[in-house]
């Protein structure tokens, strides 16, 4: 992605009226924003800095100046500024949102909001960044988030998200769509895609299947943003080679969600993990029942061997 010859549009992306006659403006950053960005990042305490950078990193002036010019360098960077309605005083830069295009066609995003302004502005700024990314042809945006960063997790939960990876108990890599909010699978692939329907962002099946050679995304609990429950196709389900339910049959959303996938994504096999003492009656007719102990082998060479494209099926799980 490269900017147009005349540079990115200079006007605001969003504006909102605030109490006291103030105005919130979200626009693309400019080189003249370097001082405002420097004040924003200088104002972070150590906890803020660690949640943003996964370290106590302090950007120097040269780096800040590069960031301010990101829109001239093929990146998307937005500034949130608060000023007086009449423009009597220079506006204060209170938020920074970045999206870096990735080779797979998605973007990687990051947000920073000044301590006194956290709350709804983080979600507002991410929505604005998603709109700009969508206009640039980016379908989904990803980020690594520490589990202790509850504010950032709440922001992505408000949009609707899915889990790409959870390498350990300290962090999770999430993806959210740009338009609409439901994400899609990243870029080209040569591995079978498994969508896990779960109630947690850390399903143990995710890493197990990823280690076996599958491409895995976990939906951490269907809720109000679930398109399938709203009667709309889900890009993740439609693009999957199989949908695996880690939800127990007794979960109140398991039955409606399985039925919705059956109607909307009839060509995608629905698989369920059998649990000891659990009745099979709650699942749709035709669902593929898998034993947790042999799950990987069954997906790779068992009931789905003739359904998942042969080019994508691992010959056998790695040792």
- What are the tens digits of pLDDT across the range 228-238? 999 999 999 99
Half-sphere exposure of 114 (CA within 13 A, CB side): 17
Predicted local distance difference test score (pLDDT) of residue 301: 67
The three-state secondary structure class of 147 is coil
Spatial distance between the Cα atoms of 242 and 261, rounded to a whole number of angstroms? 11
Q: How many CB atoms lie under 10 A from the CB of residue 162?
A: 25
Q: Which residues contact 208 (CB under 8 A, 6 or more apart)?
A: 295, 296
CB 214 within 8 A of CB 193: yes
Q: What is the largest CA-CA distance in the chain?
A: 70
- The chain-wide mean pLDDT, for the chain, equals 86
Predicted local distance difference test score (pLDDT) of residue 290: 85
Q: Which residues contact 37 (CB under 8 A, 6 or more apart)?
A: 29, 64, 67, 68, 79, 93, 96
Using the 8-state DSSP alphabet, how is residue 177 labeled?
A: E
Return the higher-pLDDT residue of 167 and 196: 196
Helix (H) or strand (E) holding 57: none
Q: Which residues contact 38 (CB under 8 A, 6 or more apart)?
A: 61, 64
216-268 pLDDT, tens digit each = 999 987 665 789 999 999 999 999 999 999 888 888 888 899 999 999 999 89
Instruction: Kindly list the structural domains of the chain, giving each domain's residue range(s) and its CATH number in brackets, ordered by start.
Output: 1-139 (3.40.630.30), 189-319 (3.40.50.2300)
pTM of the model: 0.87
pLDDT of 5 strictly over 50: no
Q: Determine the number of helices (DSSP H) and then strands (DSSP E) in the chain.
A: 9, 13
128-140 pLDDT, tens digit each = 999 999 999 999 9
CB 276 within 8 A of CB 289: no
């Amino acid at each position: 992605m490269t900017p147009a010859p005349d540079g990115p549009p200079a006007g605001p992306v969003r504006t909102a009226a605030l109490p006291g006659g103030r105005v919130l403006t979200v626009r693309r950053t400019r080189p003249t924003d370097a001082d405002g960005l420097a004040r924003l990042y200088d104002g972070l305490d150590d906890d803020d800095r660690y949640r943003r950078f996964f370290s106590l990193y302090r950007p120097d002036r040269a780096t800040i100046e590069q960031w301010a010019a990101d829109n001239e360098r093929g990146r998307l960077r937005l500034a949130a500024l608060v000023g007086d309605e009449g423009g009597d005083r220079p506006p204060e830069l209170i938020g920074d949102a970045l999206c870096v295009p990735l080779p797979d066609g998605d973007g990687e995003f990051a947000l920073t909001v000044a301590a006194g302004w956290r709350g709804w502005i983080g979600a507002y700024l991410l929505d604005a960044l998603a709109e700009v990314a969508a206009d640039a042809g980016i379908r989904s945006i990803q980020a690594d988030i520490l589990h202790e960063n509850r504010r950032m997790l709440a922001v992505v939960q408000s949009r609707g998200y899915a889990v790409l990876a959870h390498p350990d108990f300290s962090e999770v890599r999430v993806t959210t769509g740009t338009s609409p909010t439901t994400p899609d699978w990243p870029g080209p692939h040569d591995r079978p895609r498994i969508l896990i329907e779960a109630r947690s962002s850390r399903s143990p099946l995710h890493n197990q299947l990823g280690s076996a050679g599958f491409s895995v995304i976990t939906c951490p609990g269907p809720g109000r943003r679930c398109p399938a429950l709203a009667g709309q196709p889900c890009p993740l389900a439609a693009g999957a080679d199989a949908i695996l339910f880690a939800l127990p049959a007794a979960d109140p959303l398991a039955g409606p969600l399985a039925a919705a996938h059956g109607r909307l994504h009839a060509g995608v096999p629905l698989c369920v993990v059998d649990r000891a003492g659990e009745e099979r009656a709650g699942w749709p007719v035709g669902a593929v029942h898998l034993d947790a102990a042999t799950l990987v082998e069954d997906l790779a060479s068992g009931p789905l061997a003739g359904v998942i494209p042969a080019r994508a099926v691992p010959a056998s799980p790695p040792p």
